[in-house]
Chains A and B, each alone.
Chain A
Amino acid sequence: MRTLSRRFALGAAAPVMALVFAIVSSSIVLLLAGSNPLHAYGDMLNHASKLETMVDILNRATPLFISGIAAAIGFRMNLFNIGVEGQYLLAALVAAEVGGVVRLPAPLHVALILLVGMTVGAAYSGVAGVLKVTRGISEVISTIMLNAIAVSGLIVAGLKVLQAGGAVGGNVTRVGTAQIPKSGRIPNLNKIVEIFTRDIGRDRKLTGVLVIAIAVGIGYHVLLNRSRFGYDLRASGANPFAAQAGGVSPKRMILTAMLLSGGVAGLVGMTEIMDSGLFPSNPIQGLGFAGIAVALLGRNSAIGAAIAALIFAFLDISSGILQNTGSASREIVQIMQALIILAAVVAYQVTERIRDREEAKAASAALSGVTA
């Protein structure tokens, strides 16, 4: 029992240490820049306690969380899907266009958009998976290349083609894909939240994709921890040779993990296209890389990723208030995010070593008890 609580303490110590380290070092940076860190943090927390800000944070955390799960699926299998970035942008573009063109009753329309997104995401990550399985090409390299091809090639080309016919009234050119009709958009959750709270003001809408994110999180947790497939996946991630001896084909697992990861990545862009009803000409970028950070900080667990996504979203949203009150440069939040990740990965590594050492010690103690 004592060892169990100690294990838990070790597990929790790492992220807490990382947060403390990030806060202390950001404070130093702020002091050097001549700002008062306490004022800045006060403003951030104060701002975050407002209902509207919480809605903003949840809206931001939703895609971050989905992206984090997409990365985590790969990590569990020792695969680095750096390509979530390209996968989600491409998926969102195609899904938005399909959603804008097709006419279907509401639930089917939404389902189709989600399905198209997941398919495109999976297909694009599948390229990296196939390259790895058939040619032995590292997925890190191939997904970096595929990212660049998607972002500066396919998206640019796609937007050009899809915008070509779309002049909306007079000489105003349409920016982005065709508008998705109401039947294709997931309704927002304001009504549900407002049962418990006051009315959400200032045109804030809590994204309905949050429900999908929660479903993805639960699905991920169950699939990985409660299913045969999840066991095989974790086994081949931990030791592919042992898993193969146990009858798990590593190639099949690699391909499946890549497809799953890409499929989930295909949902990352849904928050944006459901909110605006189209794929804009300047979509939010960087969610893929942020997702990697979320997965790292959350240690590839669903709950951990949720907390990490909320922390990152909180920091993202806080940058706005820093700008308004002028208590610090808003860019400090980006530094804080990077410091948190770096500190977290180092802290995880350190605690892991401590744990390994203690386990070895306990094992040798137990053994010497047997021989004596």
Chain B
Amino acid sequence: MIVVNYLKNMPAWARWMLYAVIGVAVLNIVQGFDDTTLLTAESSSRAMLRWSVPILLAGLGGLFAERAGVVNIGLEGMMVLGMWFGAWGALQFGAWWGVLLGALGGAMGGLLHAVATVQFGVNHVISGVAINILGPGAARFLSSEIFNKKFKSAGGSITQSPRVPTVGRFTFPFLAGGNLFGWKTPDFLGWLSKRHWVFVSHVGGIVRGLVSGMSWVTLFALAMVPFSAWLLWRTKFGLRLRISGERPEAGEAQGVNIYFYKYVGVIASGALAGLAGAFIASAELSGVYKEGSTNGRGFIGMAALIFGNWRPAGVLGGAMLFGYPFALKLQDLNGKASHALLLVTAIAMFAVMVWAMVRRNRGDTALAAVFGGLALLWYLLADTPPTWWAAILPYVIVLVVLIFFTKRLRPPAADGQVYRKGEV
């Protein structure tokens, strides 16, 4: 109990830092059983960051919409629009235009969602589903008209664009040896990670993966986290946007134009989702627009939003957590890391079990024990680890989080409700 009280009295950031360190320590130990170093490799943390960016941007997109009280299931469709316009803009006008047009393309989807839900009071889920059908359809039509005609000789087709020019990469100066006005700064973390100091060097490598060789869009996405927190919780604008999602009639009584803030929230949501799509088209792996390569990450973004309890820092945490299995899967050629991940899952479930036990919640304790036991059993029995496990892990995590922590989550009070001016 002393431990629990001590943890409770820590500031939130310190607590989460502690959890992160414990997490890395667990990964460090577990990967030894499977004879792999991938779980805590610098390349893994770099890949995790890259995979997290679209999830993070989509999640922040969801944040802006839902804080204004509009549920945005259409993130996926807006992401597809952003991906198409991002690729087209980059091909037509240059890499940075791609980023801008991608955001604009997504914002158009957001505008459509806003008109349907805010103006006409259509159910949010219904409108979102329609946008998820419209987005891929429009992208495909546009591809058939543009990529398959004008860019055909360059390798374009109905489902794919030619190679897209990308925006540059960025490495933090001093921390990871990035350039500062043409001067190559020292690479502190690189130095640290080569020291072979137990654990410390490992952490250095992981952090170095997070601060080096990132796309400028990645930097922007990371900067959006504190910016959103400041904008939504420290400004008048943010207060008004949030009241639109909490108690719009109270805001209305204060003279706040609720419709305006809902529009802004949903359009910003679309722009962020579009940016996520543009990132996929230009900066991720292949550097092409390819049909289906959003791969449900708009939905994972929503999952990150819920996991993060409708807060920017939480969304970042969720995005990192959900990007991690994807990043591992990509490098995990012999499947050992995926196998080790099963044990990590089991340990996490047992941690939940202990948490429930401390709270004297018998039902949850038993349920967590069963989940943990199943994961452990799977880990012990499977010698050919399932490759698809990494692909569904984010969704499983969200379900588990919902099962055990729903009562601790607090969505905006009027989230998903249709608001009509003058009606209570």
Chain A residues within 8 Å of B, Cβ to Cβ: 29, 33, 80, 82, 131, 135-137, 140-142, 144-146, 148-149, 152-153, 156-157, 289-290, 292-293, 296, 329-332, 334-335, 337-339, 341-342, 345-346, 349-350, 353
Contact = CB atoms under 8 A, between A and B. Distances in A.
A148 B132 CA distance: 15
Given A135-B403, A334-B136, A152 B127 contact: no
Nearest to A286: B133
Contacts of A337: 133, 137
Given A142-B399, A153-B388, A334 B302 contact: no
A329 B145 CA distance: 7
A345 B116 contact: yes
Nearest to A346: B120
A137 B403 contact: yes
B303 interface: yes
Nearest to B129: A292
Contacts of A289: 129, 132-133
B158 interface: yes
B116 A342 contact: yes
Interface in B111-142: 112, 116, 120-123, 125-127, 129-134, 136-138, 140-141
Interface in B278-303: 296, 299-300, 302-303
Contact of B130 (A33, A137, A152, A342): A342
Interface string B64-85: 0000000101000000000000
A144 B395 CA distance: 9
A140 B120 contact: no
A152 B295 CA distance: 10
Interface string B385-414: 010110110011011001100100000000
Given A137-B402, A296-B126, A338 B133 contact: yes
A149 B120 contact: no
Given A131-B402, A135-B406, A137-B406, A334 B129 contact: no
Contacts of A338: 130-131, 133-134, 137-138
A141 B306 contact: yes
A277 to B, nearest CB: 26
B336 to A, nearest CB: 19
25 contacts: A82-B125, A82-B129, A135-B402, A140-B73, A141-B303, A142-B399, A144-B73, A148-B395, A153-B389, A289-B129, A292-B126, A296-B130, A329-B144, A331-B140, A331-B143, A334-B136, A335-B141, A337-B137, A341-B130, A342-B116, A345-B126, A345-B130, A346-B120, A349-B122, A350-B120
Most chain B CB within 10 A, of A82, A141, A330, is at A141
Contacts of B137: 331, 334-335, 337-338
Contacts of B389: 153
A197 B132 CA distance: 40
Contact of A157 (B112, B386, B406): B386
Most chain A CB within 10 A, of B130, B134, B158, is at B130
A149 B396 contact: yes
Given A332-B141, A342-B112, 7 more contacts: A29-B141, A140-B125, A148-B299, A157-B388, A289-B133, A342-B131, A349-B121
A321 B402 CA distance: 47
B122 A345 contact: yes
B392 A346 contact: no
Contacts of B143: 331
Contacts of B120: 346, 349-350
A271 B133 CA distance: 22
A199 to B, nearest CB: 35
Given A152-B392, A341-B130, A345-B127, A331 B399 contact: no
Contact of B302 (A33, A144, A153): A144
Contacts of B73: 82, 140, 144
Contacts of A136: 406
A141 B128 CA distance: 13
A33 B145 contact: yes
Contacts of A331: 137, 140-141, 143-144, 158
Contacts of A346: 116, 120, 122
Nearest to A352: B121
A342 B127 contact: yes
A262 B131 CA distance: 24
The 10 A-B pairs with the shortest beta carbon distances in the complex, nearest first, are: A334-B137, A338-B134, A153-B392, A331-B141, A145-B395, A329-B144, A331-B140, A341-B130, A338-B133, A148-B395
Contact of A145 (B127, B144, B398): B398
B303 A334 contact: no
Contacts of A135: 402-403, 406
A329 B149 CA distance: 11
Nearest to B405: A135
Contacts of A349: 120-122
A141 B402 contact: yes
B18 to A, nearest CB: 28
A349 B115 CA distance: 12
B125 A152 contact: no
Given A153-B388, A153-B392, A329-B141, A144 B299 contact: yes
Contacts of A342: 112, 116, 127, 130-131, 134
Contacts of B303: 141, 145
Interface string B182-204: 00000000000000000000000
Contacts of A335: 134, 137-138, 141
Nearest to A29: B141
A251 to B, nearest CB: 16
Contacts of A152: 296, 388, 391-392
Contacts of B299: 144-145, 148
